[in-house]
Structure 1
C-alpha cells in the first residue's frame, strides 16, 4: 500500500519566526531516548520549511501542494532518494520574519517580497538568493469610490503622499467634487515588505499617518479595501488580480499598473519575489527549487496574478 503523503501548510499571520511542529514542552526529558544525530539529519533532509512574506506564502503553498500531489514521496522525484514522504511547511509572518527565521535557523528558506538589505545579507552565513518573479504595489480603492470618476482613475505621486501622510484627510481635499468623507488609509504592518517598498519608493522621508489601519497580511489589506468605499491602500498586483472587480487599481502619474508597464519599469512601485537561504542547497531543496522555476511552477505564479521570471 502506498504511503499517504502529508502537506503541512502553517499560515501563521504575524508570526515572528517559523517554529515548526514542536514547542519546548515536546522536548524529551534527559532520561528519555533522544533521536540520533543521523536520524535528525535524515529528517531535516526530507522536510523543507519556508517562512516570511504573506504575499509569497500562498504561492509557495500552492506550488508545494501540486508538487506533493504529483510525487508523494521523494523517490518519485529522484530514484536515488529513499521512499520518504515529501513534507513542506509554509509559514507567513512578513518579509522581516523570513529573514529572522533563516538567521535563527528555524526555517530552510526565508520568503521576501522586497529586496534583501545588504546588512541582512552580511548577517546570513553563506547567503544564497533565488528570484521567482515580480510583484508591484497598486494604489487601489473600492469600486464605489467616486475618486475613480473624479480623477479619471489616476492619482499623482504628490496626491498619494498627501493622502497617506494625512495632509489630505477627506476625499474632498483630493478633489472638491468628492464628498466630505474621511479617507481611510490601509497599510501593511511594519514587518511587511510592502511597508518598506512603499516608504522607499513613494513616501521617501514623509511618514505615513499614525491612524492608518495596519493590516497583518496583504490579503487582510485587500479585504479592508473591499469592505470600505472610503478606503485606499497599496494592494499587491498579484492579489489585486485575484480580486478583479472587487477593488480598482489606480494609475500613478498616468501610468497603469500592467504587466508590461511593471516589466519596463514605467510603473515604478514594483518589488521582487525572493526566497533566501543560508548555505548550499541539499538535493531535495534543489529539486523543489527546480520545480519552482519549471514551466509548471512559473505558470502557477502567473495564474496567481504575479509576473514570473522568463
Structure 2
C-alpha cells in the first residue's frame, strides 16, 4: 500500500471512529449516558411536614447508592411545596392533599404531574387528662365548630375544651377539613393555632382539655407519652384499620412535578414507591401504595 493510499485509509478510519463516539454519547440507549442523567445532579424536594421524615430517609438511602446525586429535602407545608414547584423554586413538591384542593384552580393544577407515593393516616389527639376514648365524626365536627365546648357534653368530665388548630397552609389541616369536617372549615376564632406537628404536640401536652390532630407517622411512642390518640366512630386510629377500610381519617401523600418527572426527579420518585423503600415506609408509620390498591 503506497503512502497516499495509507493516509486516505487512516483518515477514513479516524473519521468513522470520531463519528461513532459522538453517536454513542448522544444515544438514549447508552448505559453510561442514561445512568448519569437519572442518578446525578441536584434537586430540591419541598413541602409537607407530614411526608418530610420519609422523604429524608429515602433521600439518604438513594444518595448512598448514587453518590453523584444530591437531594435536598425541606418542609414548609403542602402549600409551600406546590407553590414552589409552580414557581420553579423546587423540583418536587410534597403535599398531603391534591393540587386541585390546595390551589382551588383546576387549570393551574394541570401544569403539575401528580405522583402518589404512599398513604398516611391521621389521629385526633387530646391531652392526657381527657377521659374520652372515642368520638363520633359528628361530635368532632361540633367541637371544632364551637357547638360543643365542654368534655362533659360527650361523656367526659366537666372540663373546658381547648381547640388547637393548624395553620391555613397545612396539608394535614386540609385533610382534616376534607375527611372529618366534610368540607366545612372549623372555627379558628376560638382556641389557638400552631404551625407544625411539633408545636401541636407541645400545645396539647401542656394545655388541659385540649384537642387537635396529628399524622400517625408522627405518633411515635415518645410522642404518645405527651398526647393521647382517640378513636373515631369507635375505630382505633391505625394503619391496619385504614388498610381494612374501617378508619376514615387518612389520605394519599403526593409528590408533584412541573410536567412529567424526568431524570433525577423521576428516579427518586420511582425509588419512593419501590419495593426497596417499603421497609422505610412501614418503619416510619406510612402505608405502602401496594397495600392501598
> Does the pair score TM above 0.5?
yes
Task: State the 1:296 CA deviation.
Answer: 3.5
Deviations 1:168-220 (A, max 9, x none): 22223333x503x3212112110011222212222233532412322211232
Deviations 1:288-309 (A, max 9, x none): 2232222332211211111121
Of the three residues 293, 296, 301, the one matched with 2:273 is 293
Describe how 1:10-159 pairs up with structure 2 within 5 A. 46-68=41-63, 70-71=64-65, 73-74=67-68, 86-117=69-100, 120=105, 122-124=107-109, 126-147=111-132, 153-159=133-139
Check the 8 A contact 1:115/1:271 in 2, yes or no. Answer: no
Aligned length: 248
Q: Larger deviation: 231-240 or 262-271? A: 262-271
Describe how 1:160-309 pairs up with structure 2 within 5 A. 160-175=140-155, 178-179=157-158, 181-204=159-182, 205=184, 207-241=186-220, 243-309=223-289
- Separation of aligned partners in 1, 2:92 and 2:110: 13
- Separation of aligned partners in 1, 2:179 and 2:248: 8
SS at 1:306's partner residue?
Answer: coil
Aligned-pair Cα RMSD in Å: 2.3
Check the 8 A contact 2:45/2:90 in 1, yes or no. Answer: yes
- Separation of aligned partners in 2, 1:298 and 1:94: 24
SS at 2:253's partner residue?
Answer: strand
Deviations 1:47-92 (A, max 9, x none): 1111111111222112212322x23622xxxxxxxxxxx3222221
Residue matched to 2:17: none
Q: Which structure is larger by alpha-carbon Rg, 1 or 2?
A: 2
- Separation of aligned partners in 2, 1:298 and 1:167: 42
Per the normalisation by structure 2, the TM-score is 0.76
Alpha-carbon distance change, 64 to 100 in structure 1, aligned in 2, over 3 angstroms: same
Task: State the 1:154 CA deviation.
Answer: 1.2
Check the 8 A contact 1:64/1:88 in 2, yes or no. Answer: yes
- Separation of aligned partners in 1, 2:120 and 2:208: 25
- The structure in which a higher percent of residues are helix is 2
Structure 2 unaligned runs (5+)?
1-36
SS at 2:256's partner residue?
Answer: strand
